Amino acid sequence: MLIATVLSAQCTDERVNKVTRVLFDKYPDAESMSDSDPEELMEIVRPTGFYKNKASNILKISKKIAGDYQGKLPLDMEKLTELPGVGRKTANVVLGNFGMAEGIVVDTHVKRITTRIGIVSADDPEKIEKELMVLIPKNRWNKFSHQVIAFGRDICRSRTPKCNECGMNKFCAYFFDKGGVR
């Protein structure tokens, strides 16, 4: 989950799924990945973009997990964010998918939609997360992110939002700014 999330930056889920199949067939655990050839690792992750940085972080993450955590992923926000290239968003994705949400994933979709609709006032992802954590019950944090992301892909698209089809338009600041009627 962690490695797939690292690879997902600026990349489609479909491409990440293809790359992770190859990557995990070759390196099924932190130990084998920590011993991988950096050049070979870069070639495997190349299709995801930013491959040099991603491969470097994956190698460092694997070495730390293999060495410091006996090959087991630490399921703790502080320990996860100490791993190279792992920020709060990535840690939230991992913890949320293990049913241990400590926050709300604020990716580009969540940021765009929550500010567009007008349910948050902040523009910084960490500040948006804090605002949302007050509004959304903790037991819904993980599901909320997934729902908003799906909504962003299907309805509230970045360039061509389907405002007239949207069930949220009667509440949406963006819709009214664009001339929508209540």
**Catalytic amino acids?**
89, 107
* Cα(73)–Cα(61) distance, integer angstroms: 10
Rounded to a whole number, what is the distance in angstroms from the first to the last CA of the chain?
42
Read off the amino acid at residue 11.
C
Alpha carbons 136 and 10: distance in angstroms, whole number: 27
- Residues 85, 89, 92, 97, CA torsion sign: negative
